[in-house]
Structure 1
Amino acid sequence: MTSTVFELLDPRPNQLEAPYTFYLPGEEELSEIAPGQLVQLIFRAVPPTETYGAERMWVKVESREGDRLTGILDNDPADIPGLECGANIDFSLFHIISIDWEDPAQKERFKSGFNRWFARCFVDDAVLEGRARVGFLYREPPEHEESDKYPDTGWRIRADVDELSDEEYNDDPSPSYVAIGAVLNRDDSFVDLLSSPVGSAFLRGEGDTYTPTDLDKNDDDD
């Protein structure tokens, strides 16, 4: 009897927790997967190893019956003892986190705009850590670097100071430079404002409502 050396992780909880930064293929895309297609799954050693919590690896589909598939591992695991490239893998559609479309028409049709949420912004750590909601945001000219894979959006996002204690407000470090999707995972109440031009500024009101405000006036208030 062969012992289990790995398990496949269900990525759906990750997507629910981080909908703006953890992409999963949609139903239409999954429906076109057929033998010969390369798909990516998340593997974890059993028992877990200390080096990697999990590994994303490609599998070449051999057969499909409804939502059940079989395939051949197309990567060399970095730290999953007993698992090797060429191993037979049984999995379900929901395990798939990415699809390598070779057909140009499919690649173009399923090209995702998901990466737009990886463009950067500055945000108070209190928002990222869930200690406060967004209270004020404004957009200034982006700080571009040619080497940046993801550009600066120019958005600067501040915490609602009314939700912070005096100690938190005074001790909060400088804002972090992160993917704007990471902020939206915490608070996406302002997502419809992100197409606003440079110079825009908004104050949060009751609930999830925002009111345009004068950026220079708020700078003076600080």
Structure 2
Amino acid sequence: MERGVGRFRDRLRGWFGRYAIEDPRPTAAKAPYTFYLPSENELLAVSPGDLVKLIFRSIPDSGEWDAERMWVIVTAAEGARLTGTLDNDPLDMPQLKAGDAVTFDRAHIIDIDWSEDRAAPPPTAPERREYWDRCFVDDQILDGRLKVEFLYREEPDPPREGDKYPDSGWRFRCDTRGLTDAEYDNPSFSYIALGKVLNGDDSWLHLIDAPVGSAFLRDRDTGAFHPTAMPDVGDD
């Protein structure tokens, strides 16, 4: 029964559904260390023949995905407004298919694959450091509730099977004054990209290249970090 209802819903979406192209700038502003956008010069250089990636959101919502990132072949450019044809088949967006015409703004572009047949070479992308190496961090820092209070860098863990990025050795603990008794007794932490920690609290960024064996504690009065002793094995 549920499968039949789902098929009928998909048919209705195909007949009457719409889609919106999402403006990625608010997301980039909230996650500047993990969500990177092309530079202004790159956006201005996009021209017919280039492939660009956009974020499509289904209206009504998809039952499977919040949004889908898909490639579009640019066919026309007039100022800030571009036109192209969809180069992907959506996973769950029956109102849209490969080859459909799409109109969008340059500011909607999240990635660019430059055409080899361009009349002029694309602009040089600005140098940008990325922060994908992994670390252990208290979950209260990731959700934005608490700030980093104590950080230290130990010998990185060996690579795990399937790891794309190595362990940085960094470990981050939150201000324990903000924890409930249950949270204090049962710490909750994640193994995640350094950029995710920076998105929540980048006050420690100037310390990121400190060597293994470094440890820092935040001064609760000034907010500044000061060198301190490494924790004993088993403290975290």
Establish whether TM, by shorter chain, passes 0.5. yes
- Secondary structure of the structure 2 residue equivalent to 1:183: helix
Residue 147 of structure 1 deviates from its aligned partner by 4.1
1:15 counterpart letter in structure 2: A
Note the residue ranges of structure 1 that are not aligned, 5 or more in a row.
Answer: none
Structure 1 pair 97–125 and aligned structure 2 pair: CA distance change class (3 A):
same
Match of 1:110 in 2: 125
2:7 is aligned to none
**Tell me, what secondary structure is at the counterpart of 2:131?**
helix
DSSP-derived class of the 1:109 partner:
coil
2:89 paired residue number: 76
> What letter corresponds to residue 126 of structure 1 in structure 2?
Q
Which residue among 162, 175, 179 is the counterpart of 2:177? 162
| Kept in 1: contact 2:39–2:126 (CA 8 A) | no
Distance 1:83 1:15 in 2: 26
Superposed CA offset, 1:103-158 (max 9, x none) = 5x9689327635x3121000011211223211100001111327421111110111
1:184 aligned to which of 183, 194, 198: 198
Say whether the 8 Å CA contact 1:131–1:164 is kept in structure 2: no
1:120 and 2:143 matched: no
Contact 1:124 1:159 in 2 (8 A): yes
Q: Distance in 2 between matches of 1:4 and 1:129?
A: 34
With over 3 angstroms needed to count, the CA separation of the structure-2 counterparts of 1:149 and 1:165, relative to structure 1, is same
Partner of 2:170, secondary structure, is strand
Q: Among residues 70, 73, 79, which one is paired with 1:66 in the alignment?
A: 79
User: Alpha-carbon deviation of 1:208?
Assistant: 3.4
Most deviating of 2-11 and 53-62: 2-11
1:164 maps to amino acid: L
1:54 maps to which residue? 67
What TM-score do you get using the length of structure 2 for normalisation?
Answer: 0.83
Letter aligned with residue 206 of structure 2: D
TM-score, with length taken from structure 1: 0.88
- Matched positions, count: 216
Structure 2 residue 135 is the aligned partner of structure 1 residue 131 = no
1:43 is paired with a residue whose SS is: strand
**Are residues 203 and 84 of structure 1, via their aligned partners in 2, closer, same or farther at CA, if it must alter by over 3 Å?**
same
**Is the partner of 1:6 in helix, strand or coil?**
strand
**Mapping 1:89-108, distance limit 5 Å:** 89-102=102-115
**TM-align CA RMSD:** 2.4
Counterpart-to-counterpart distance in 1, 2:213 and 2:55: 42
The answer on 1:209 being equivalent to 2:224 is: yes
Q: Distance in 1 between matches of 2:64 and 2:193?
A: 26
| Cα pair 1:123 1:176 within 8 Å, conserved | yes
**Is 1:37 the equivalent of 2:37?**
no
The Cα offsets for residues 49-103 of structure 1, whole Å up to 9 and x where unpaired, read as 2112211000011111111101111111111112111111100011101111355
CA distance in structure 2 between the partners assigned to 1:108 and 1:192 by the alignment: 30
